[in-house]
Every structure is written in C-alpha cells, then in structure tokens.
Structure 1
Amino acid sequence: MVSSTRAYNWYISLVAASCMVLYGYDASVYNAVQGSKNWLAYFNQPNAQIIGAVNTAYTVGAIIAGFFLGGPLADWQGRKLGMALGSFLTIVATLIQAFSPRGNIGCFIAGRVIIGIGQGIALTAGPIYIGELAPPEIRGMIMSFWQMFYSVGSFIAYWVNYACQKNVTKLGEWDWRMVVIFQMLVPIIILAQVFLIPETPRWYIQHGNRLDDARKSLRKVRETEQDVEDEILAIREAIEFEAEAISSGYSALWKDKSVRKRMYLCLIINAGQQITGQGTLNTYSTKVYKKVFTSTDTVALINALNATFGILFTLNATWTVDRFGRKFLLIVGAIGMAICMLIVATVETQTPTLANGSKTEPVGISIVFLLFLFALFYKPSWGATVWIYTSEVFSMNVRAQAVGMCSQTQNVANSIVQQFFPTFLDNEGFYAFYMFFAINLLLAAFVYFFLPETKKVSIEEIDTLFGGVNHVEKGADIVGAEDPHHANLEIIQIDEEGKHVTNK
C-alpha cells in the first residue's frame, strides 16, 4: 500500500515532469506540420535550408534560456516560478505561430525562438525540482517519468496531427493550426497546479535559511519527523560547506575540480543524447518516412504509433534505472541503437526503389520495425537516464546553473545536426544513418570508461563519486552537529542567525 506522503511525492513530481510534455510536443509538432501541404503552401514552399532554420530558431531560444536565464531564475525566484514562466511563454509563442500572417515565415520563426526561451527556462527548473524533493531510493524511478512525459507530448502532437490529416478537406489551413494550438493544453494545466505545490526545501534554506518553510515542504513528502529533520540537517550541512569552501555562481562550475569533472561528463552525455539519431528522428521522421512511403496518412499514422510505443518503452526505465543503474542502461542502450542504425541503413540502401520513389511493403515494414526497436533502446537509456544523471550529480550551490547549461547542450548539438541533416538526407539518403551507428558505439565506450555509477546515492553526498569531499560530513563541523547524518529530535537549538545546531 502506497502511503499518502509517497503518493503526494509522485503527484508533485509529475506536475514538474509535465514541463517535459512541452518539449516533446514542440519537437513533434514541427515534424508533424512539415507533412501538411497547407502549411507548406501557407509559407510559400520553404526549402530545406529554411526548414532547418525554423527548427534551429527554437534551439537558439532554448540555448539562450538554458545557459543564461533558467539557472539564475530558478535560484533567484525558485523552481516553481521557473516552471510557471516557461509555461506562460509557451502559450504566448503558440499563439504567435498559429496566427502568423500568410507567407510571413519570419513571424513563425519568432514564435519558435520565444517557445525555445520558455522551454529552456521550464526544462531547467523541472528536473531540479524533482531531484530535490524525491527520496534517494526512488529518485531514478520518478525521474524516468520526466522522459516518459516527452513521449506523452509526442503522443498528443502526432495523434492530433493524424486526426487532422484524415480531415484535411474539412479543416483546410486549420489542419496545421489545430496541431499548433493544442500545444497550449499542457502549459495551461501546469499553470493551474504549479502554485499549489510546495517549493523545494533546499531553495528555502539557501534563501534566508527559512527552516520552517523547508520543514513544511518536507513533511508533505517524508514519512516521519526524523526523516524531515535528518534531511534538513543534511541540506544545511551541505549548503554551509558549499558557501564557505566553494561559493556559488557560474564561476564555481570551474573552480572546483570535481564539479568541473561533472560538467565535462554531463555536457558530453547531453550532447550525445541528441546525436544518437533520436533527435533527428524527432524532428525529421516525416521527411525520413517519405523516402519509404508515399502516403501522408501512412506517415502520420507511423509517427503517432511511434509516439504511443514511446510511452511504453520509457516505462522500462522505472523498473530498471534503480535496479541495474544508470551506467548499465546507457551502455546497453547505445549498443542497441548502434546495431539498429547499422541495419536500417543497410536495408534501405541495399534494396531496390520502386518507380514512385517508395520501397516495397516488406522493406518499408522492416524499416519501421527497426526504428521502433531503436526507440525501445533509446527511451529508457539515453532518453530518461541522461536527464536523471544530470539532475542528480551536482551540488546545491551550482545545481541550477549546471543543469541549465548541460541540458541545453542537447540543443547545441541538436541545432548543428538538424541544420545540415535535411540536406544530408536529400543528397545521401539512408547512408546518413551509418553516421549514427558510429556515434552510438563511441558513446557506449565513453560511458564505460568515464561515468561513475550514481544509483541510490544521496544528492548531498554524491560529490565523493567524482573526487570531491563529502559535503554533509564537512558541513557538520560548521553547523556544530554531533552526527552528520542524524538530527536529535529531543532538543534542537538554533541561534539567532540559524548557523549553529546543538544536539543534546
């Protein structure tokens, strides 16, 4: 039987995870509208370079927000406000895109930039919120829903698009506008709930040492008063040590050797997430499948089914990530994706093409199966686990800035690949997929040799895995705690400045 506190922990975590629906929907909505003849006609048949530029516009906004806005905002005003502001900007940008003047692709691109900024802010705050409130023993399981909600966003976008493509005659130009407008659904739901959930205790203690507010937050998601006080003590110990020995801000990301190491590792795996091939398929699967199938309805249905199975595939992370560990999933996932990409490229390039430009039905089905199998390997590993790893490895003083910068490295890598991939695909066809085969093998080797395992380690004590000191134990001397891991509930005396704790 799940306790009420554990159920509430899941509820607030899923509200935060809903920010990922924004990302999943947006990555899929642009892919979907590219299949609309009305969208192409409305914007005067944009060429491959312009299509790439429209997608790059989103990543530019997201990179700016992730590197320079999301972290400071989440630290200054809290994780909740970051999620709320990101959702609000998504709504504004959705209206700009849906009602761009005819032929004005610049207005549509402006909407893409704003939506990138909004999502860059939300995607920084969301995983930090989950990581700071989830208990260590189920942190990986809860964070796996972060990636699953990406698939939920794709699911909504592609099924809305499929319904619209089946009714193009009735809808006219609304066949693509409806797909865009539905992007407002989830941000409205987030805004309706985000101000009703608690702020994280770490943010309360970091800002004004608001211990009473921190306790109120923790009492909603921890089973006993002892659990609450132990965590309060651990947070205070870590924060005091970090403030005295490391400091905060962007400069702290490079001052401490162990933090710097984590930055390098997380920058690489976040960039790696997008160059596995999945980032390209998210944006250009319509264009890819059109080289195999001629029917727009068929392509729309395949995309919708892929999004549906993506939800199921991501659920594999919920029972594997805390059981087998982050490192195991990343290695197995990369090797599986490499094999899929090798076979896909070989099957498509070594089979005859029909007169109408498509492939035979058996070849088409085999390619779809292999790309679905690719998603089965990707979703619980490089999809979910990269986010889990990034959100849990950084200490409190640099977490917001580091998560923002590392997560947006996804968009740096994505923007580079997405800009040239349409032209690459047009010129080389499925030979382009051999590139992803090689990249995935390199990623598997990188994880094996360089990434430490982090499963079930407290985020206050995770520094030791990267050559750093234990912030909890070092901070215990500063706050005057006799036992760095357990608070004495009988008497807890706090001086006027809230800096020293005496247990008697």
Structure 2
Amino acid sequence: MVKQRLAYNWYAAMVAAGCMVLYGFDAAVFNTVQANKQWLAWFDHPSGELFGLINTTYSIGAIIAGWFIAGPTADYLGRRWAMGIGCFITIIASFVQAFAPIHKVGVFIFGRVLIGIGQGIALTAGPVYIGEITPSEIRGTVMSFWQLFYSVGSFIAYWVNYACGQHTKTLGEWSWKMVVLFQILVPVIIMLQLPFLPETPRWYIQNGNRVEDATAVLRRVRDDEQEVQDELLAIREAIVFEKEVISGSYWALWKDPSIRKRLLIAFVLNMGQQLTGQGTLNSYSSTIYKKVWTNVNTINLINALNATFGIVFTLNAVWTVDRFGRRFLFIVGGIGMACCMLMVALIGLETPDAKGGGKSEPVGISIVFGLFLFIFFYKPSWGATTWIWTAEVFSMNVRSQAVGMCSQMQNVAQVIFNQFFPTFYNNCGLKSFFFFMSANIVLVIFVWFMVPETKRVSLEEIDVLFGGQNHIEKGGDLLNVEDPHHAHARELDMSGREKGVGVTYVEHPAREIIDE
C-alpha cells in the first residue's frame, strides 16, 4: 500500500512536470527554424532586429501571464485548471504558428505571444503543484524532474528537426511546420491526465477550509494516517496565521519583510539563470555553431545530441539536491560554468580559422565539448535548482503569484539578451563568452552571502530562514493547539472506520475552526 501511494505521488508530480516540456520544446523550436531555409524564405528572410523580436515576443507573452494572469488563475481555479488552461492555449498557439500565411510574419509573432501566455500560466502552476503535493524530504528530488522535462522538450524538438532536415527537398515548408506542430503532443497528453490528478491539499484549505477534501488527497499520497494528520494540522495552522496576521491577499508580497527578501533573492536567482549564458545558448546555438561548422545538418545533429546529454546531466540533480543541498549545487555549478565559458572563448580565439570559413574539425569538436561540459554543470544546478528553490520558499498566501513573478524574471532577462546578443555576438564573437564567465562568478558570490539552505524544510516553516515567524507555531497559538507540530492520536468512533488520528481545536474568536 505504501508503494502504491508513493508511486501515485510520483505520477501526479510527473504529469505536472510535463508542463516544462512545453518550455523546452518552444525554446528549441525557434533555435531550429532560424537555420531552416524554407522558414526563412516563407517569412522573407527576417533581419537581425526582427529576428530578435520574433524570439522576444514569446517572453513578452510569458511575462504578462506570469505577473498578472497565472497567479490568480492557479489560486482561484486551482493548480490543475491552470495547467490545463496553459496547455490548451499552447495547442492553439502551435496551430497559429504552423499555419501562418506566407510572408505574414506578424501572424507567426502573434502565435509566439500566445504561446508565451499559455506557457506562462502552465509554468507557474506546475512547480507549485509539485511542491504542495510532495513530502518535504523528497521535494527537491521530485522537483529535479522539472528541469529534466525541459531537456525532454528540447530533445523532442531537436531530433524531430534533425529528422525533418534530412528530407527538406521532399517536405518543403513542412520541414519546419512539422517541428512546430509536434509541440501539441505533450500538452494533449497532460490535459488527458489532469482529470485523474487530485488538487493539492493546501489549495483546498486555502479555498474554503475544505478539510475533508484535503484529508482525502493526503491519504492518497502519504504513507500513514499520523503523517496525514500532522501535515494537515501544519497546513491549517500556517494558513490561518497567514490570513489573520499577515494578509490573505497578494499585498503580503510587499507588507511582509521576510517575503520581500525572498522575492528579491528569487528575482536575482531567476535572472541569474539567464546570465549564466544558457538561455542565450539555447536560443542561438545554431548561430554560434555557424561560426564553427558550415554544414547545417551537422549543426542540427549537435543540437540534438546536446539535448540528449541534457537529459542525462539533469539526472545528477536527482541524487544531489536533497543530499548536498541547494547552495552546494548553485556554487559548484556556477564555478564549473565560469570555467567552461573561459575555456570555449580561449579555444575559439587562440586558434586560426580554417580555409573556407569556420574552424578546423578538431577545434570545432573542442568548442562543442566545452559547451557540452557547460550543460553538465548547468542542468543540475542553475537549471534545476533555481526552479526548486523558487517553488519552495514562499508561503501559501502568495506562493502562486510569487512563483509566477519570479519565474518570469527569467524571461525579463531573456528579452534583454535576445535583443542584443545577435549584435553583441556579431561584433565580439567568442569574446562575448567572457561576459558570461564574469556573470557566473558574481552569481556564486551572491549565493554564498545571500541564499540560505532550504533542504528538507517544510513549506510551512520555511519563513524562519528569512527572518519571518514560524507559521506553524503561530497558527497553533491562534487555534489553541497544545502541540502545533503533531496531531494527537485518539480512537475513532464506532462507525466502523479504521483506526486513525485526529485533532480537536478549541474555538478561537477570530476564526471558526471545524472539528473534523
């Protein structure tokens, strides 16, 4: 029975993690089509500035969704509904992009905006759902698959593109349209499974104090009744405290000093994820490889292999994040990425160009090895751990809104870099990698002094790490619970239910608490 509950918990979390496939696929799609001659001809060979705009419009849609739509959607309709709505919009947007009329790049751009909105909603609800339904002792391990699924999305896109690229003469414009349309595959799969997933217990308590529904969910994903009642008690205590003492609205983001501190740190971490250079590399690796390799099929193959190794490298987070902690991965990953950026820049700058353009094959292989080594350090650290840390540090009253805002700071940074990087790279070439090297060093210093360890801390007690009050203990005082951390065992009535535990609350004038 224990194995069934644990397996079901993993199943529910993995469905939610599938939302990240959407993000990985879309980032790879634009990277692949920009090297496709049929796509370039279909939209009249966009210039460098228009090129950047096409990529940037996705981020604009995602930012709008993350800051103004995703949080309220996940809080009022539920995490499952938010994931479903985001997936549905992504499907519609994929069709808009794939069937944009010839020479009508504006329609393709509209599809990019729309897909950003859909993914902005889904990418907010997904990590929140995983964090709220998963036990704290394995939360980091389960959330590691969030970044792994990003690599799965890139893997699908790059290999589909590689296959289509082998038959461009036969497929014509369908060589890029098929790549775009494959994006509907995963959101359809997610939508079909959402009816079989429970809503999170924390959402049920937050919305109407639905104790019976929350208890039923916990009994489906936890090992024993004592564990169910302990977690239920902690959730109720924390939410009562947040609503009555802090704020039941998003104003707590600005009113509570400890939440403001978390918000600012998470902003830096999420923008830092793009400052590492990964976001730019993922969007413009084809452009970078053109300086090294002259054959498009070779570039497509390298991108596909990069995505494949990305899946393998992300798995390192599964066994490290709950063992060594979030800070360890941030610091080691940042140092490793800085060294890789330095290595790639020096190899490229200190070796001569081959005849006919590009680099010699040994030099090209060395550069590709350096970039593959970069993702070895990036994937389990600033790739996976940034999402893990962001999804687990905020209290229930602001969690969805805060995660939406913080995660979209990645796109704020990406908007800036995607606009100027093509010009930056054209003017500076591989010297631009020194910038990313320096950024990684600065990020390591920031983590060392500013980011606390959150490994295996329950969601309801994480405020203490940032100078806030313990929401469980303070909520227990409001509810007049003698032991705020443990439900008291008692025999159940004679109705025939199996033995369990329960909690009796003394009525508090500030809020009516229903004895279960």
Which residue pairs with 1:352 in the alignment?
A: 352
d(CA) in 1 for partners of 2:514, 2:325 = 36
Q: CA deviation at 1:493?
A: 4.1
1:499 aligned to 2:512? yes
Q: CA deviation at 1:407?
A: 0.3
Structure 1, 437-446 or 344-353: larger mean CA deviation: 344-353
Which residue pairs with 1:381 in the alignment?
A: 381
Which residue pairs with 1:103 in the alignment?
A: 103
Which residue pairs with 2:303 in the alignment?
A: 303
- Alignment check: 8 A CA contact 1:58 1:113 kept: yes
Aligned residues: 503
What SS class does the counterpart of residue 323 from structure 1 fall into? helix
Indicate how the Cα distance of structure 1 residues 209 and 501 shifts in structure 2: closer, same or farther if over 3 A, else same: closer
- Alignment check: 8 A CA contact 2:238 2:472 kept: yes
Q: CA deviation at 1:354?
A: 2.0
Q: CA deviation at 1:496?
A: 9.4
d(CA) in 1 for partners of 2:450, 2:429 = 34
Can you list the C-alpha shifts for 1:38-62, whole angstroms capped at 9, x where unaligned? 0001000111111100010000000
Equivalent positions of 1:42-57 (< 5 A) are: 42-57=42-57
- Alignment check: 8 A CA contact 1:204 1:210 kept: yes
Can you list the C-alpha shifts for 1:424-468, whole angstroms capped at 9, x where unaligned? 111211111111000000000000011000000001001100001
Which residue pairs with 2:493 in the alignment?
A: none
Equivalent positions of 1:62-461 (< 5 A) are: 62-461=62-461
Can you list the C-alpha shifts for 1:179-233, whole angstroms capped at 9, x where unaligned? 0000000000000001210000000011111011101111110011111111110
Q: CA deviation at 1:478?
A: 1.1
- Alignment check: 8 A CA contact 1:18 1:190 kept: yes
- Alignment check: 8 A CA contact 1:424 1:432 kept: yes
- Alignment check: 8 A CA contact 2:507 2:513 kept: no
- Alignment check: 8 A CA contact 2:70 2:404 kept: yes
TM-score (norm 2): 0.96
- Alignment check: 8 A CA contact 2:13 2:142 kept: yes
What SS class does the counterpart of residue 483 from structure 2 fall into? coil
d(CA) in 2 for partners of 1:78, 1:489 = 31
- Alignment check: 8 A CA contact 1:478 1:500 kept: no
- Alignment check: 8 A CA contact 2:276 2:440 kept: yes
Q: Which runs of 4+ in 1 moved over 3 A?
A: 491-503
d(CA) in 2 for partners of 1:377, 1:178 = 32
Question: Aligned partner of 1:231: which letter?
Answer: E
Structure 1, 149-158 or 43-52: larger mean CA deviation: 43-52
Q: CA deviation at 1:69?
A: 0.5
- Alignment check: 8 A CA contact 1:479 1:499 kept: no
What SS class does the counterpart of residue 181 from structure 2 fall into? helix
Question: Aligned partner of 1:469: which letter?
Answer: Q
d(CA) in 2 for partners of 1:217, 1:323 = 28
d(CA) in 2 for partners of 1:499, 1:441 = 52
- Alignment check: 8 A CA contact 1:249 1:401 kept: no
What SS class does the counterpart of residue 297 from structure 1 fall into? helix
Q: What percentage of residue pairs aligned between the two structures are identical? A: 62
Which residue pairs with 2:473 in the alignment?
A: 473
Q: Which runs of 5+ in 2 are unaligned?
A: 491-501
What SS class does the counterpart of residue 480 from structure 1 fall into? coil
Structure 1, 422-431 or 314-323: larger mean CA deviation: 422-431
- Alignment check: 8 A CA contact 2:258 2:468 kept: yes
Question: Aligned partner of 1:499: which letter?
Answer: E
TM-score (norm 1): 0.98
Question: Aligned partner of 1:365: which letter?
Answer: I
d(CA) in 1 for partners of 2:190, 2:184 = 10
- Alignment check: 8 A CA contact 2:480 2:506 kept: no
- Alignment check: 8 A CA contact 1:313 1:375 kept: yes
CA RMSD, 1 decimal:
1.4
1:5 aligned to 2:28? no
- Alignment check: 8 A CA contact 2:480 2:505 kept: no
Indicate how the Cα distance of structure 1 residues 55 and 4 shifts in structure 2: closer, same or farther if over 3 A, else same: same
Question: Aligned partner of 2:54: which letter?
Answer: V
Question: Aligned partner of 1:173: which letter?
Answer: E
Q: CA deviation at 1:492?
A: 3.6
- Alignment check: 8 A CA contact 2:472 2:484 kept: yes
Q: Which runs of 5+ in 1 are unaligned?
A: none
What SS class does the counterpart of residue 208 from structure 1 fall into? coil
- Alignment check: 8 A CA contact 2:481 2:505 kept: no
d(CA) in 2 for partners of 1:24, 1:88 = 17
Question: Aligned partner of 2:513: which letter?
Answer: H
Q: CA deviation at 1:108?
A: 0.2
Question: Aligned partner of 2:372: which letter?
Answer: F
d(CA) in 2 for partners of 1:495, 1:24 = 50
d(CA) in 1 for partners of 2:375, 2:270 = 17
d(CA) in 1 for partners of 2:352, 2:503 = 77
Q: CA deviation at 1:24?
A: 0.3
Q: CA deviation at 1:343?
A: 1.0
- Alignment check: 8 A CA contact 1:97 1:180 kept: yes
Q: CA deviation at 1:247?
A: 0.5
Q: CA deviation at 1:480?
A: 2.1
- Alignment check: 8 A CA contact 1:463 1:471 kept: yes
Can you list the C-alpha shifts for 1:48-95, whole angstroms capped at 9, x where unaligned? 111100010000000000011101111011000110000000000000
Q: CA deviation at 1:244?
A: 1.0
What SS class does the counterpart of residue 322 from structure 1 fall into? helix
Question: Aligned partner of 2:262: which letter?
Answer: R
Q: CA deviation at 1:495?
A: 8.2
- Alignment check: 8 A CA contact 2:250 2:397 kept: no
d(CA) in 2 for partners of 1:501, 1:213 = 13
- Alignment check: 8 A CA contact 1:270 1:406 kept: yes
- Alignment check: 8 A CA contact 2:73 2:82 kept: yes
Question: Aligned partner of 2:62: which letter?
Answer: A
What SS class does the counterpart of residue 460 from structure 1 fall into? helix
d(CA) in 1 for partners of 2:71, 2:403 = 7
Q: CA deviation at 1:502?
A: 7.1
Can you list the C-alpha shifts for 1:127-183, whole angstroms capped at 9, x where unaligned? 000000100110000000000000000000000000001111111110000100000
What SS class does the counterpart of residue 459 from structure 2 fall into? coil
Question: Aligned partner of 1:500: which letter?
Answer: I
Q: CA deviation at 1:494?
A: 6.0
